[in-house]
Structure 1
Amino acid sequence: MKSPLWILCTLLLCGLLLCNVTAADSSTKPNFVFMMVDDLGIGDLGCYGNTTIRTPNIDRLALEGVKLTQHIAAAPLCTPSRAAFLTGRYPIRSGMAAKGRMGVFLFTASSGGLPQEEITFAKAVKGQGYSTAVIGKWHLGLNCEESTDHCHHPNSHGFDYFYGTIMTHLRDCQPGHGSVLHHVHVHIPYKALGIGLVSLVLLHIRGTITVTRKVVFVFLVLVGVFVSLFGVLLYTFPNLNCFVMRGAEIVEQPYTSENLTQRMTSEAIEYLERNSQSPFLLFFSFIQVHTGLFASPLFRGKSQHGLYGDAVMEIDWSVGQIMQTLERLNLKQNTLVYMTSDQGPHLEEISIHGEMHGGYSSIYKAGKSTNWEGGIRIPGILHWPGVLPAGKVIDEPTSNMDIFPTVLNLAGASIPSDRVIDGHDLFPLLQGQVQRSEHEFMFHYCNAELNAVRWHPPNSSAIWKAFFFTPDFYPQNSSACFHTHICFCIKPFITFHDPPLLYDLSRDPSESTPLSPDTEPQFYSVLKVIRAAVSRHTQSLKPVPIQLSPLQILWKPWLQPCCSSLSQLCRCERDHQIDKLRH
């Protein structure tokens, strides 16, 4: 019989061995660095064919890694696309798809946001010992019932650390660039208001129906109050919506944008240095190149494409700084880097001086807010030396939702079994273990409306794409919706198609000529298969609260974040990154 001392020593030795094995397992877990640019066009990068904007650092990523040429955003707008990226699920499954015109959050004091029931890749890997951070743009909500509950804050979705903006960067945040709210006048029923006022006056004069002067006066007062409130909203919008947070604290309100990319880059470098000894996941979400455009003095005037090109060059510089930091910290060989955009370029964006401030979709049709290829085909670059082949190009359909299962599998986390995950693990395709994407069908939503479907049949090179409706462009030979500032997916801004428009992207990637029964013998059989897939997909959807309903996106004063009193117009400057740049 063994002595108690021998048993005790044996247990201690086993414990030490177990700790060492656990530590070894932890140390071999890969790190993740994801970089997402806002509104970057696939044609803006040298590695995707651009010859006039210098992007050497991003091009090097593609040269040393894998480049996806048919990488698709799950939605053509910021908020739903980012929700899909984080969760691996179509936005409609989480309620992050709007029913109406407004498909994104426009106020930080809205009550909608990514539901806490959703599992992000950050939340999933935290259980595997990862440190997690998001630096930059969030745009997935903040509060629910009061100004400090932070129910939709990144910290509530698995991110240990946050430095950035809750909202998107708008021209209101950039002094001298005008206001995005000026476009609201397109939707004000001036004609109806005018007719109503004239009708009241005429009825009062003729006495046909009793309309007193008091009624006319009340009508004018109500119109005056509406106009006054709109003016106040324009004046206060930058202070209330353009601020930087570090964690739960507002550190600058309103923010100075021209040095924002440099500050974010510095913050990312500091995060990597602090967490270099343990596995980490960093989501670097660029504020650029969304309207209103900005670039730091170091890059202003350096490109051939005005402020937009300058901003793209600054992004490339930032990517280079992050990659240099990974190399300096000896992390490059154990880090999966992913570079992308949240959707296509905003072709409708025109500055107050009449300059085009959008990106380039290359050969692809249209841009942001549409499900034409220019709106959803995005850069997709994955880099991991020694693990992923260098210089490989993949033309199979992939999705930004694929990052979710890819990350979970690499980190050793279980894929959730209580919900539909629409993404697929990319690694077998990236490493050449398989030659075909697992995405046979892709469903392209415009807000909550199913707009188009992509079908890549097994054992076929064809990639069919059917449109049930399309946006009305203006002028008709253009690819932009200038009259609405952004393409909408509701009447009267769209045209329905019966039968649907059908394209074969393998032969017509520019979607220039729709097929017909006369030009394509498989026309009706292809549409039959697609309609059957739509039916199965629709049956998989479960009713969920809509987070982008008019009530949820409405500005609510009691939810307004403010670093000082409202009487001081929410002003403060507490960001140590500003002091670092000054010195």
Structure 2
Amino acid sequence: MSLCVKIMISAFIASLRLASEGVRLTHHLAASSMCTPSRAALLTGRYPVRYGLEEGPESNLLPVILHITSQSGLPADETTIASALTAANYTTGLVGKWHLGMNCTLFGHSCPGPLNYGFQSFYGIPVTLFQEFRGSHAFWKFPLHDRRFQGLAMAWMTAVVSLFLASRRNVLGYCTGVLLLLATHLILGVFWFIFAHNSMNSDCRWGVSPWLFRYANSRLFRGDQVVEAPIQLDGLSQRLVEESRHFLEAHAYDKTPFFLMHSFGHVHTPMFSAPHMAGRSKHGRYGDNVEEMDESVGKVLATLAELGLEDNTIVYFTSDQGGHLEAVEDNGERIGGHNGRFKGGKRQGGSEGGIRVPGIFRWPGHIPSGVTLDMPTSLMDLLPTLLSLAGLPQLHTLVPRAMGKELDGEDISEVLLKGAKGARTPRLFLHHCGMSLHAVRMDTGDHVYKMHLAKPKWWKGSTQCGWHHTTACDCHGANVTDLSSQPELYDLLSDPYEDYPPISPDSSEYKSVVHDLKDYVKQWRKGVTLPPSQLSTMANGLWKPFYQPHCLTC
């Protein structure tokens, strides 16, 4: 039995074919509306708030891991799908985006990242793709309108003149003067670098300048080593696909069971395409990106067929979050995607547009084709479901050290194998935005209730919070409306897009459902001790030069 997981979003030929050949989950939910926590939940089957991999209310950084050298990441004692399958003698590999912490050693000699979490091979992107990765950025900066740089200039001039006069008057010897001059340049150079490229510069985002951000993080890894810096974006999708093809070919011939997680760079800012894909779509560069990823999906699926692996491989297709509505280029071109009629988007953990994602399972001869399931399911269901479909023991039997780590995902293998005829049991879902609980969902079979406890304050007439590729709604604070005293309640079966007024608080239905959901939240909180947010700790989040990996041959 082989397992192939692909994280992607697409809507064209290869993806439509995949949907027609498997079970399509139309109410599939991410555990977070941001990539780092959502990916952590997918791999562990557990809410990321359980291990602090969500932003806290005091965070002033982007609520994901920003740097390769960041000390934030998936805790070492968490068990991933890859760890579980390694214990079952599967060969495991990750191709593409990781974004869960690289665990770099001092001076960046080794950054094992996913190799510490059950993956036996890794080729891909250590963090994520950022706009700063595209193009070049200025290294030399000396804006004299800035008082700090004025001070540096005055200090340099004073030091040089003083050393010159001292040497002319024989106060200093020639060698001493030269050494002091070099030391002066070194000290002032360090201050210049800090002012120009560190977070002390008000022009810097992500804690460093665009030049330093690209230099430090635009790196492609093989195993624990950098093999490309900066990342050559054009053609990246094709290189990732070739890597997955090689992985599949190797394990088709040695007959060992395998688990491949292929996490595409598309569709994500910045927009980039291989030359043969550029300008093909009538929907601009975003459309080009979608079509390029669809081409890649087709190549991976074709490889399975060519190698005779198609009928014995479970394929799972999904995304880690909804579209980023606010993202636009400087010329106004939208590059963040669209969530259809679902309201909200990325970084809106309680909004459908932020957490509703595609979901497809395909396993020819086992999972029926052309079936649509509208019951709520979660990315966190993947771990227990794959173990069940593969005929393996449950996680806590397979990996004894995982005992005590309660799974939040559920085994949905029965409903996948039986299609719509499978049993549908009542279920509840918690929707966090950062470490704050924004909504709760309850599937009773006859209803899918959703209770909003908090909502972002959208721009008038929209379901977003501005325009820019670094802009998104807040999870905490003054820009969030607290609804906990009188939550809003919807039935998503009758009002899937929340277009109509919520259920009246005066109705018996509202009182009964809200009472039950609040009681569930209360009991859940009693049974869980949540750690502080890793992403709100400045020491964890900032760039650390002494852990920076380098590539001397790139």
Report the TM range for the smaller structure's normalisation: 0.7 to 0.9
Structure 2 partner of 1:467: 452
Cα deviation per residue 1:165-217 (whole Å; 9 max; x = unaligned)? Answer: 111001111117x89xxxxxxxxxxxxxxxxxxxxxxxxxxxxxxxxxxxxxx
Structure 1's 58 and 542: CA in aligned 2 closer, same or farther, altered over 3 A?
Answer: same
Structure 2 partner of 1:353: 331
Structure 2 residue 482 is matched with structure 1 residue 504: no
Structure 1 partner of 2:413: 427
Aligned partners of 2:428 and 2:443 also within 8 Å: yes
Structure 1's 230 and 363: CA in aligned 2 closer, same or farther, altered over 3 A?
Answer: closer
| Other structure's SS at 1:132 match | strand
Distance in 2 between the 1:58 and 1:281 partners?
Answer: 20
Structure 2 partner of 1:267: 243
Structure 1 partner of 2:122: 162
Distance in 2 between the 1:450 and 1:344 partners?
Answer: 18
- Deviation of 1:519 (Å): 7.7
Structure 2 residue 535 is matched with structure 1 residue 559: no
Distance in 1 between the 2:111 and 2:549 partners?
Answer: 13
Structure 2 partner of 1:443: 430
Distance in 1 between the 2:505 and 2:541 partners?
Answer: 46
Instruction: State the one-letter code of the partner of 1:378.
Output: V
- Deviation of 1:148 (Å): 3.9
Structure 2 residue 307 is matched with structure 1 residue 329: yes
Aligned partners of 2:474 and 2:480 also within 8 Å: yes
Residues 165-314 of structure 1: pairs in structure 2 closer than 5 A: 165-175=125-135, 226-227=200-201, 230=204, 233-276=209-252, 277-314=255-292
Distance in 2 between the 1:58 and 1:118 partners?
Answer: 32
- Deviation of 1:369 (Å): 1.1
Instruction: State the one-letter code of the partner of 1:357.
Output: I
Residues 530-569 of structure 1: pairs in structure 2 closer than 5 A: 530-544=517-531, 546-550=533-537, 551-564=539-552
Structure 2 partner of 1:31: 2
Structure 1's 137 and 437: CA in aligned 2 closer, same or farther, altered over 3 A?
Answer: farther
Aligned partners of 1:517 and 1:524 also within 8 Å: no
Instruction: Give the TM-score normalised by the residue count of structure 1.
Output: 0.78
Structure 1's 437 and 553: CA in aligned 2 closer, same or farther, altered over 3 A?
Answer: farther
Structure 1 partner of 2:461: 477
| Other structure's SS at 2:437 match | strand
- Deviation of 1:379 (Å): 0.3
Cα deviation per residue 1:15-46 (whole Å; 9 max; x = unaligned)? Answer: xxxxxxxxxxxxxxx21111102xx4xxx62x
Paired residues in the alignment total 481
- Deviation of 1:491 (Å): 1.1
Cα deviation per residue 1:375-416 (whole Å; 9 max; x = unaligned)? Answer: 111000111100000101000010000001112223414322
- Deviation of 1:364 (Å): 1.0
Aligned partners of 1:143 and 1:149 also within 8 Å: no
Structure 2 residue 33 is matched with structure 1 residue 76: yes
Structure 2 partner of 1:407: 386
Identical aligned residues as a percent: 38
Distance in 2 between the 1:510 and 1:230 partners?
Answer: 38
| Other structure's SS at 1:86 match | helix
Structure 1's 452 and 151: CA in aligned 2 closer, same or farther, altered over 3 A?
Answer: farther
- Deviation of 1:114 (Å): 0.5
Distance in 1 between the 2:527 and 2:109 partners?
Answer: 32
Distance in 2 between the 1:556 and 1:223 partners?
Answer: 16
Aligned partners of 1:137 and 1:167 also within 8 Å: yes
Distance in 1 between the 2:380 and 2:312 partners?
Answer: 22
Structure 1 partner of 2:53: 96
| Other structure's SS at 1:522 match | helix
Distance in 2 between the 1:467 and 1:161 partners?
Answer: 41
Instruction: State the one-letter code of the partner of 1:408.
Output: L
Structure 1's 282 and 365: CA in aligned 2 closer, same or farther, altered over 3 A?
Answer: same
Aligned partners of 1:137 and 1:286 also within 8 Å: yes
Q: Which runs of 5+ in 2 are unaligned?
A: 139-191, 397-402
Distance in 1 between the 2:432 and 2:310 partners?
Answer: 37
- Deviation of 1:543 (Å): 3.8
Distance in 1 between the 2:195 and 2:87 partners?
Answer: 55
Structure 2 partner of 1:397: 376
Instruction: State the one-letter code of the partner of 1:513.
Output: Y
Cα deviation per residue 1:491-537 (whole Å; 9 max; x = unaligned)? Answer: 12211113011111111111123424368541111110100110122
Structure 1's 142 and 509: CA in aligned 2 closer, same or farther, altered over 3 A?
Answer: same
Distance in 2 between the 1:112 and 1:144 partners?
Answer: 11
Structure 1 partner of 2:66: 106
Cα deviation per residue 1:278-327 (whole Å; 9 max; x = unaligned)? Answer: 10000000111111111111111111211111111111111111111111
Distance in 2 between the 1:554 and 1:439 partners?
Answer: 43
Distance in 1 between the 2:547 and 2:286 partners?
Answer: 34
- Deviation of 1:228 (Å): 7.8
Structure 1's 494 and 228: CA in aligned 2 closer, same or farther, altered over 3 A?
Answer: closer
Distance in 2 between the 1:146 and 1:467 partners?
Answer: 45
Structure 1's 319 and 385: CA in aligned 2 closer, same or farther, altered over 3 A?
Answer: same
Structure 1's 414 and 436: CA in aligned 2 closer, same or farther, altered over 3 A?
Answer: closer
Distance in 1 between the 2:426 and 2:107 partners?
Answer: 41
Instruction: State the one-letter code of the partner of 1:553.
Output: G
Distance in 2 between the 1:437 and 1:156 partners?
Answer: 36
Instruction: State the one-letter code of the partner of 1:480.
Output: Q
Distance in 1 between the 2:507 and 2:33 partners?
Answer: 28
| Other structure's SS at 2:209 match | helix
Aligned partners of 1:174 and 1:292 also within 8 Å: yes
Residues 45-60 of structure 1: pairs in structure 2 closer than 5 A: 45=11, 55-60=12-17
Structure 2 partner of 1:372: 351
Distance in 1 between the 2:494 and 2:109 partners?
Answer: 52
Aligned partners of 1:250 and 1:563 also within 8 Å: yes
Distance in 1 between the 2:70 and 2:487 partners?
Answer: 36
Q: Which range is displaced more, 544-553 or 62-71?
A: 544-553
Structure 2 partner of 1:20: none
Distance in 2 between the 1:469 and 1:436 partners?
Answer: 32
Structure 2 residue 96 is matched with structure 1 residue 136: yes
* Structure 1 residue ranges, 4+ long, deviating more than 6 angstroms after superposition: 221-225
Aligned partners of 1:406 and 1:426 also within 8 Å: yes
Structure 2 partner of 1:580: none
- Deviation of 1:439 (Å): 5.8
Cα deviation per residue 1:38-80 (whole Å; 9 max; x = unaligned)? Answer: xx4xxx62xxxxxxxxx11111111011000000001110000
Structure 1's 149 and 439: CA in aligned 2 closer, same or farther, altered over 3 A?
Answer: farther
Instruction: State the one-letter code of the partner of 2:47.
Output: Y
- The partner residue of 2:23 within 66, 72, 81 is 66
Structure 1 partner of 2:364: 385
Structure 2 residue 106 is matched with structure 1 residue 146: yes
| Other structure's SS at 2:418 match | coil
Distance in 1 between the 2:217 and 2:536 partners?
Answer: 19
| Other structure's SS at 1:432 match | helix
Instruction: State the one-letter code of the partner of 1:414.
Output: Q
Structure 1's 229 and 350: CA in aligned 2 closer, same or farther, altered over 3 A?
Answer: closer
Distance in 2 between the 1:373 and 1:439 partners?
Answer: 20
Q: Which runs of 5+ in 1 are unaligned?
A: 1-29, 46-54, 180-220, 565-571, 574-583
